[in-house]
Amino acid sequence: MAKKKLNKNWLHDHINDPYVKMAQKDGYRARAAYKLKEIDEVDKLIKPGQIIVDLGSTPGSWSQYVRNKLAGLEGGGIHGTIIGLDILPMDPIADVHFILGDFREQESLTQLERLLAGRKVDLVLSDMAPNLSGIAIADAARMEEIIDLAIEFSLNHMKPSGVLLAKCFNGRGYNEILGKFRSTFETVGSRKPKASRDKSSEIFLLGRSLKNFA
């Protein structure tokens, strides 16, 4: 009974959420687009000509926002390259290259390398999150593993001057994740956009310029 009530409350909040209404109006697939929009408007992350990778891109609202920012070529098209990766299918988005698969596996990496054609990435975006179990220690370990993957991807594919924006949770394990960012990037900051739900502990870490780049 409690679960049914919880689902009803969530549905009520979701339907009345102003960001859900804005997403429907603006054509975004999820309200998450406005989290990236808020951060980008302050930190100026997305610029014409960049190569941008969206890790865990499905359903695609972050890729949609990036595509809108890079649009502007006469006759359509974008100034830059957008690559989305996810283990879940994603409906096509104009000018976004999508790779279905696990980026740790060779098949996905081969597709990625073909699209990059020897180029390095300017901006890595990660809105990935684990399926939460409600067991704090297990959830913290899963979140840390996802952050490790985003950092490892950045080390392998990003320009020395590149930027990683990654979602995590401000709770158990957060200090360890923050420490990993600080040991990887020259400058590190945290962002909590207004579009993040008040009840949510999600926070976004922003790392700029790789340290100790050989």
Mean of the pLDDT values across residues 120-142?
A: 91
Asked if residue 131 belongs to a domain, the reply is: yes
Q: What is the pLDDT of residues 29-84, one digit of tens each?
A: 999 999 999 999 999 999 999 999 999 999 999 999 999 999 987 778 899 999 99
Distance CA 175, CA 172 (A): 8
Catalytic residues: 167
Q: What is the pTM (predicted TM-score) of this model?
A: 0.91
Q: How far apart are CA 131 and CA 140, in angstroms?
A: 11
Alpha carbons 9 and 20: distance in angstroms, whole number? 15
4: helix, coil or strand? helix
pLDDT at residue number 11: 54
62 a known binding residue? yes
102 is in an annotated binding site: yes
Domain of 100, CATH number, reads: 3.40.50.150
- Does residue 19 lie in a domain region? no
User: Read out DSSP for 79-116?
Assistant: SSEEEEEESS-----TTEEEEES-TTSHHHHHHHHHHH
Establish if 50 belongs to a structural domain: yes
Total domain count for the chain? 1
Q: How far apart are CA 190 and CA 205, in angstroms?
A: 5
Cis peptide before 59 (omega within 30 of 0): yes
* Residue 86 counted as an annotated binding residue: yes
Sign of the CA dihedral with 176 first, then 181, 183, and 184 last: positive
Residue 14 resides in a domain: no
